[in-house]
Amino acid sequence: MHGGVYAKITPKTQPNPYLEVDERDILTPSGTKLTKINPAFMTRQANELAFEKYGIIAHITSLKPIRPQNQPDAWESWALKQFEQGSHEISTIETINNIQYLRLMRPLITEQGCLKCHDKQGYKKGDIRGGISVGVPLAQHLAISKNNLKTLTMMYGFIWFAGITGTILFMLILNKQISKRLKAEKELIHREKLEGVVEMARAVCHELNQPLQMILGNSEIILMEGTDKETLLKRVKLIQEQVNRMGKLSRKLIKIASYETKEMPQGKVIDIDKSSGLE
């Protein structure tokens, strides 16, 4: 944007011999010496700082470098060729001097402002002027990720274990409860069946009681008194009536299709009339 900026000349910031512009070195009114810093030079200084502070290797380079030291290494020239084929970013894991690095490179595209200094080499707007590569040493990050992996493995392992144990425990408890319930249900059904049988027995006894009494009474009288034919017939007729009554009861019992009850002094009994539907 500025076509370069001026900085004080110091042992570290010496005039750039490759920078061919007017007024590369100037004097301020008070006599301080300044030199023009082009973007690549400033980038280099920033790269040096990154290396000193973080061990990050960064490099501004090009397939056609103006400054011979800006020559790309093998990986960089491969990446730069990829940019010419249309890639926008290249990154891989590489080993340099036995140290593992994550290397990443992006292209530097020629803009209008770059042409001030770079049109001499024949660049046009939009051309790939070169690129900047950075390499981040991975050892520290790998150590952190290894540590994280250990913690995560332990955490997930614990969750997995707790989950499985919980599920098994839950299943056992549920199973126990289900069988308890089934047993109780079975007992209940059994009790209800027995109750039904008892209620039926009570009802039948109640219904049979009166006719049996009358049959017994009349036959005893016949046997004891040995009466005349007319009274005998009367008594036999009475016995017949009671037998008919019992027959009717048995027909009703066969027809029983529902469960209806009524209260009697001796307890709950089956309501035979209602249950058979033959009132």
- How far apart are CB 158 and ligand HEC at their closest, in Å? 52
- Cβ distance to ligand HEC smaller for residue 70 or 261: 70
Query: Residue 64 has which token pair?
Result: 């056609």
Q: Is 39 in the site for ligand HEC (CB under 6 A)?
A: yes
Give the residue, chosen from 34, 105, 117, 215, that forms a contact with ligand HEC under the rule CB under 6 A.
117
Stretch that binds ligand HEC, among 65-73, 97-105, 183-191, 236-244 (CB under 6 A): 65-73
Stretch that binds ligand HEC, among 114-122, 158-166, 188-196, 224-232 (CB under 6 A): 114-122
- How far apart are CB 147 and ligand HEC at their closest, in Å? 38
Q: What is the rounded CA–CA span in Å between residue 114 and residue 134?
A: 22
Q: Is 106 in the site for ligand HEC (CB under 6 A)?
A: no
Give the residue, chosen from 13, 67, 138, 238, that forms a contact with ligand HEC under the rule CB under 6 A.
67
- How far apart are CB 16 and ligand HEC at their closest, in Å? 5
Chain centroid to CA 260:
55
Q: Is 40 in the site for ligand HEC (CB under 6 A)?
A: yes
- Cβ distance to ligand HEC smaller for residue 21 or 152: 21
Residue type, 113: G
Q: Is 118 in the site for ligand HEC (CB under 6 A)?
A: yes
Q: Which of 79, 68, 7, 77 is nearest to 39 (CA)?
A: 7
Q: Is 70 in the site for ligand HEC (CB under 6 A)?
A: yes
Give the residue, chosen from 8, 116, 176, 248, that forms a contact with ligand HEC under the rule CB under 6 A.
116
Q: Which of 92, 113, 88, 89 is nearest to 101 (CA)?
A: 92
Q: Is 111 in the site for ligand HEC (CB under 6 A)?
A: yes
Q: What is the rounded CA–CA span in Å between residue 173 and residue 157?
A: 24
Q: What is the rounded CA–CA span in Å between residue 34 and residue 7?
A: 5
Q: How many CB atoms lie within 10 A of CB 222?
A: 15
Given a contact cutoff of 8 angstroms between Cβ atoms, the answer to whether 197 and 259 are in contact is no
Please give the radius of gyration of the chain, using alpha carbons only, rounded to the nearest integer: 56
Q: Is 6 in the site for ligand HEC (CB under 6 A)?
A: no
Residue type, 93: I
Query: Residue 261 has which token pair?
Result: 């009850």
Q: What is the rounded CA–CA span in Å between residue 276 and residue 279?
A: 8
Task: Using CB under 6 A, list all residues that contact ligand HEC.
Answer: 3-4, 16, 18-19, 21, 38-41, 60-62, 65-67, 70, 108, 110-111, 113-114, 116-118, 129-130
